[in-house]
Structure 1
Amino acid sequence: MKNGKVLLICLIFSFSAAYSQNTQLTIEGTNGKFYLTHSVVAKENWYSIGRLFNLSPREIAAYNNQNMDKPLEVAQQLHIPLTAANFDQKQKKSAGETLVPLYHVVQDQEWMFRISSIYNDVPVTSLEKWNQIQRDAVKQGMPLIVGFLKVKTDLSPLAMGIPSNPAPGNPVSDVQIKTVKSADPAQAQSTNKPAFSGNVNTGTQSPAKPVNSSVSNAPAVTTVIPVSNTPERVNNYAATHSNGGFFSVDYANNGKSASGLAGTFKSTSGWSDGKYYALMNGIAVGTIIRVSGANGKTIYAKVLGQLPEMKESSGLLIRISNAASAELGLGEGKFPVEVKY
């Protein structure tokens, strides 16, 4: 028995060199079917890989339609399923467990709300906290922590070098949105973004294409931005200001305009600080737009990203935060607006 324990410890440390140097694990797949791709290295077997990712080796073999009786080959590609046993998005762990950050690489026209919807509707505030970044600072190619691989500290080399809290930083409130307005000294700044090494595979071999079907980053959910159920909420900023919101001073009319239907999405911003946000196709992220209702009221909003690709967005020109619609006095249904930018 003693010799067996010594052998196990030796095997674990023999694999450590391949995984202890800031390995970046990137999630693949779609909502409900997430996985990691692992490239087999020398001396690995089903059991060592099971310990590495905190899963039963039989579960890994079955997921890859493989038989455990067949030896693994160096550079063989395996898909490692992310399940309730080894995938965490609440930073909850038991004694003897370590949380290893898992990343999503931001694609073209992706923004924080959409990324949230892709990964089980993880709260945007959690994404901001884990990555120490503001939601409107997301850029294409940026790696974002979207969850954690939960492993056994004493059994998985992936736990080596991981601090007790792998995603430090204070929670970022919904009103701490980075803007260029110099008069807002309390605004948060984006710091300590995770370094992207370009190696999204867990092994040391050159990654090959996954053996299963092609991976899509498109969200597999029916709702991206929930609509608030509290239309009676009072906009305190609007009660004491009449300039259309915080971003009014940053608005620059370039002579472009569009008219159509608007919808809403839920946000904690805007009710006390006047920071209104919008989702609209064809406009660069960060652009300040002027939104006017048929009743003559106007607000100014910052564009956070594109309209979510779901049936609820059909026929919409724009979505604005529910605080913005409250200031416009238009409720939270669909209503006609004119947008200038």
Structure 2
Amino acid sequence: MVKSIISVVVFALCAGGLQAQDAYQVQGTSPDLYLSHTVTKGETLYSLGRAFGLSPKEIAASNNISPDQGLQLGHTIRIPLNKNNFSQKADAGTAGGYHPVVHKVTDKETLYRVSVNHNKVPLDNIRKWNNFTGDGLKKDGLIIIGWVKSSGAPAAAAPAPVVKNEPAAAPPPAPAVVKETPAPVEKETPAPVEKEVANVPPPPPPAVVSTPSVVTTPPSSGTFEQIYQQQTKNGKDVTSEKGPGTWFKSNAAGKYYALHNTAPRGTIVKVTNPLNGKSIYAKVLDVIPQMKQNAGLIVKLSDGAQQALGANEARFYCELSYEN
């Protein structure tokens, strides 16, 4: 199984949904774009070429080694991104076997500069893939800049080059993290939602569960994961979404909550962080407030849920699934 450097979070956006752990973090700039990959047991130039839609010679040339040379366990090699395995067409995300490639935004970086540094990918394509309504970018945010053909499982390992470069962060509720969290994010949290979350006792009261507008199929007891399994079992339609999310302050302990625009109140949603493969189950309390800073969001999670996902950014990429 291919274990590659990922920037997880990517917000895999193609219809039908990519599986969790599908995002790769791009390295380099045009015309030398590539992925960094840490060699695992049994991997060869041939197996990597097959996994990433390249010939062994292409990978060997990118790493200045012989096509017949073996690979050493734990070494990092380049996986080139070229016309044979990398697409930046507007509909690339809908093609089978293609996984999102993301770029980590640097300080004061603009959408135009991101485009120039990554093969001059059309700005409209970047907006479409990331559900952007404007051109503003936030430092350390992850945005999709193209799609790589891959049959591997990028999140099977968290390669050292990416993890070591990312500063360790404390959970959002901790004082140190609050200082690091941009003030606008805290201000955008609507007061009514905070009060509702603080007053919601786990587990949910039977009266709430039995209300038709909430959820009619699951029982009134059990963990959110158990309720989710009951909501989606027996072939029921499951809706999948991928895109950016953020968090709101909550005083609730032991349960995770969410704001979502289409899932009925009381629905349990499964939220996955593609960057590390972690998943949590959260109960929908209300819709996302219609505010400028919430434009393009697919979900807002309670701070405890964000912490459990390992998403240390104020705005992060995630994947959702829930009963249709």
What TM-score comes out, normalization by structure 2 length? 0.42
Q: Larger Cα Rg: Structure 1 or Structure 2?
A: 1
Q: Which has the higher helix share?
A: 2
More contact order relative to length (CA 8 Å, sep ≥ 6): 2
